[in-house]
Structure 1
């Protein structure tokens, strides 16, 4: 993940939101309090990149945190939004762990089994708890923006950004699942669109725009940062797809080749479909779930198809577009530097 400077104000705003959820949960019974505790654990750790990006953009456009009390609550909203998406994504993927420890669904499965539920009942409770926790986090993110101390015009624009982030990310997630289930429909163009929608808007474009809006950036600068943010987000997600297929365990946060074991139909796989090697790739992917030797065979088949080279070319081209957008004269020099540094950081992650 890309690292940006930490902001104690962001941490304090996130902690305050979690404390509010826990206080409300404590009034509503032991089960709901347990959900609040699990939700609290889900928000801990991580680099909190998205809220840091809001703050970095705000500062790049000359904003003064001392004169903008709404900055950190708005930035925190993007971290809660991210956590909500992660929690829901785990439900979609039927995952019960994240980075080696039980996630919310996993915690509530264990809670159910200890209290006498069978396997089906435990799975039902685990997924229900995770869905509800994600819903609470989405609500809290919207609440932070609604109550942030900003002027009415900025609040309206920030609401529109969060609204876009939720709708577009949901569309991307649905398309991602459709591409995995309806494999014949998974075209390179469709998977690229899904990759953009699933990640680019809420992870890069909206946070960069939010910081610029809070700093009262002019309209021409907002248009430039919107364009660059979308390009950055797409490049970031495509690099993640390469990491999911070829990255080390340290890069991916799990065993190498995780996306191949899970048969994800990413742009990388869609590009392989357009090659003469597709039959071999498809057969190898069908067996990748069986173990590390099969994963390695799928990696070799993909490499020999040329798809990774083509995807890297798309990434480099997209990053060049970021750098061209960063040179827009509507942007202050500090914003240009921020975008160039982000592009370099994304490029540095390419496996």
Structure 2
């Protein structure tokens, strides 16, 4: 491949590592990098913006041919009587200066600060060091943050890009609540793409060419939970809680698909024909694994960005609510959201661009 311009070199390299199951066609990664860099309006920090935008997407895999008729129970989750902590609302993709209370601003445009929207709708910055920008970061219940990002060991050196590029680390970093680095591990394998889906107290869950992989934070050992062949198709969005994995494929952009990671296979799917959905942007499983929330858009741009929720047990559509307009600088707004309990969803519409921006929070009850 010909040399690419230095100003997008890091962006493309990082995007390649962040595209879930990177198919080996850098042209596709390069196109995604340019598109998402425009969306983030961050010309001087394109690498960071692109990495964040592309976490866990575009896995090029074969289609699944059979489906389990029954829905196995969710496992690896708190008991029904246990008090489940609220999911932390991390502002994945936020890149700029934001208002945070009267007269206060928080700068999230660098490479060592990430943001969290805490109850009361204030932005809490966290220091996470160890990469040139973060593909993905996840806040754990115990206050730690798990993040994955690319680190250029040869800054300023033009190189031909791709998964074999020289001088690049993909660092998995765990920080304590005070920002102290507890773990920094290069998880790159030359010739392979890697990105992070999510993490819990013991493991990070990575997309590799082999499929969805559990990476033990203590030992670094890995095992495949869902193999490459079973995942089937390019992946737009995904989430994992306990043994339940939900994803949306490029080939069916409005059909959430449910997997059981113990079985390592698809067990159900939930088309959204009644919503006039054109694409799903993000998904988030509830803490008990019984519901999934999705951001989506309709073909009619006037309908804006919306949130819907599905209950797995009876396939009920629990809510369909407008949250943001589409158009202008960002056609598909950046939306972060998290479950506060089994039925309540808290989220934020996050502007990305020059100047000081204001995050718009929202609260949705799914009944």
TM-score (norm 2): 0.24
Higher share in strand: 2
TM-score (norm 1): 0.25
Structure showing greater radius of gyration is 1
